[in-house]
Chains A and B, each alone.
Chain A
Amino acid sequence: MAIYEEISSNIRKSYLLLFFFFVIIVLLGYALGTLYGNPSFGLTLAFIISFFYTLFSYFAGDSVILRMNGAQEASKQHFPHLVNTVEGLAIAGGLPTPKIYVIDDTAINAFATGRDPKHASITVTTGCLQRLKRDELEGVLGHEMSHIKNYDVRYMMLVVMLVGITLLLSDIFLRSMWYGAGRRDSRGNAGALFIVIGLVLAILSPIVVRLVQLAISRRREFLADASGALLTRYPSGLANALKKIRDDKEPLVEAADRSSAHLYIENPLAKVRERRVNLWSTHPDINERINRLEKM
């Protein structure tokens, strides 16, 4: 029954995330509006923006993430083995077949995204296809399929989209504070600005940290490992794949680095985004996972 609990917990957390996001943006709008002497305008604008961005994140978040990571749709003609395996696992889980994408990268990595099992996709690197054996690839895909089945994908997608933009916004505020401090001083607004920014950051940072903590759930990964093994009925497959990743001499240069490098260099969002999108970097200790799989 753990899976049903996980599903409802993920759905609940997703709504909570949407709610927090809404509140934060509206607060920001109000603060800015007050600063420029028109709180109701700021409030209205924030309402509109957060409403549309929330909708956008929910319905198009997966396409944004896929594009950000340079994922290409995999055709059956070019990747028959990958497509067959995913189709098989979808049958095993009683789920619709997700869309399948490939990232051209030698690192072994994979992720799943989407808002529910009907609108989901699995992405693997070409490194996965070249360096994993059939049963190992099956193990990795089973793990991703479980993320879809458990609705982990929805929450993780929203974290990338909402926490990402929130951090980006707070970054912009910080920067405008540095730039604007001198100019505003002459207008006598600096004090108010600093107070607002201080407030915003004070509200924002603990929430953001908490959300990221929620996202990095050891339980979530162990559960995906376990239910993935239940799908393939072959825990050693994933265990061996994890071993290959652990022993990989090539550093885990995440595919995301290349496609969204311009984002990474200068803002704090890069780290979060990188961590959220990529399967392996945020996960519980890899040896612990291998141990558990081998004991199944």
Chain B
Amino acid sequence: MAWLWLIIIVAVLVLYIVLKFNQLVSYKHRINNAWSQIDVQLKRRYDLIPNLINTVKGYVKHEKTTLKELTDARTKIMGGSSMAEKAKASNQISAALKTIFAVAENYPNLKANENFKMLQEELAGTESKIAYARQFYNDNVLSLNQALESFPTNMIGSVFSFKPREYFKASGEESKPVKVEF
């Protein structure tokens, strides 16, 4: 009788480990997927910025520094390799874009420009997609990290060398999608 119980216990244990292992794997995949979503949107914004600068340049002669900040932040994000660097550069771009759109309020001609309107909508959309992708990413990182810290998943995690992941941090008030009213 004893060996039967032993088999049952081992079977249940193995089943449990398999389930937890699969759960960790699915977290990992979701995180990678979420990260690629962020990346797609960051890239999209990266590609839109030169168009914006070209459109804005002709209208806002006195705002050279604002434009320069945006260009600098844009260059930085490609240089950044770690998550934290990318997040920081991304936040800088968001801030610079916000400033530009605020400045644009003072230039009626610019605001009436069709191309600018289109870019503003596209960038606002991309901004909120970045925010949403980041939110989805961070939610999943939270799930994974929580699982890796709690018992007994932490043992399964360390045996199969799952690593906790880094959050994609937003700086302070930008944790919400940027709302561009028009």
Contacts and interface: CB of A to CB of B under 8 A. Distances in A.
How many chain B residues sit at the interface, stated as a range, is: 20 to 34
Overall SS of chain B's interface: helix
Given A92-B136, A94-B34, A133-B181, A85 B176 contact: no
Given A134-B179, A135-B179, A84 B132 contact: no
Given A81-B125, A91-B136, A233-B177, 17 more contacts: A80-B118, A80-B121, A84-B124, A85-B125, A88-B125, A88-B129, A88-B132, A88-B177, A91-B37, A91-B132, A92-B132, A92-B135, A92-B136, A93-B136, A133-B181, A134-B124, A233-B135
Interface of B: 30, 33-34, 37, 41, 118, 121-122, 124-126, 128-129, 131-133, 135-136, 175-177, 179-181
Contacts of B181: 133-134
A234 interface: yes
Interface of A: 80-81, 84-85, 87-89, 91-94, 133-135, 138, 231-234
Overall SS of chain A's interface: helix
Contacts of A87: 125, 129
Contacts of A91: 37, 41, 129, 132-133, 136
Contact of A94 (B126, B128, B136, B177): B136
Contacts of B180: 134
A234 B132 CA distance: 12
Contacts of B37: 91
Contacts of B124: 84, 134
A80 B131 CA distance: 18
Given A134-B180, A135-B179, A233-B176, A84 B136 contact: no
